[in-house]
Amino acid sequence: MKYRLKRGFEPDIERVREVLEEVIPTEVHEEGNMLVISYGALKRVEVKIVDKKLSVITEANPEASEETMLETNRRFRDFLLKATGYTAKQRIKQAKKDAQE
């Protein structure tokens, strides 16, 4: 999924890394120009900047408990808010608009 960045939110991978480390308590690995983590209900998360947008690819851990899924989802939403500047509702609205174009 690709997310637009709100005005004033730099498309800088180091800024995104700082947000990731702040919100999700796990080690962040670099693979080329991509940040990779594994946390809770997310087996693998790949984050990079593509065309001034935040590109995030996730792979779920189907064996995670419901409690772990809820906590992971909360942290992931917090990460997206702090990284993009947009709330979940705003991100959905933009995704719909992009799909129509």
Structural domains in the chain, sorted by start:
2-100 (3.30.310.190)
What is the tens place of the pLDDT at every residue in 16-31?
A: 999 999 999 999 999 9
The reported pLDDT for the residue numbered 100 is 84
To the nearest whole number, what is the mean pLDDT of the chain? 94
Q: Which amino acid is at 3?
A: Y
Alpha carbon distance 88, 80 (integer Å): 8
Distance CA 46, CA 14 (A): 14
**Amino acid, single-letter form, for residue 46:** E
Q: Record the pTM.
A: 0.90
- CA 39, CA 59: separation in Å to the nearest integer? 10
Average of per-residue pLDDT across 89-93: 91
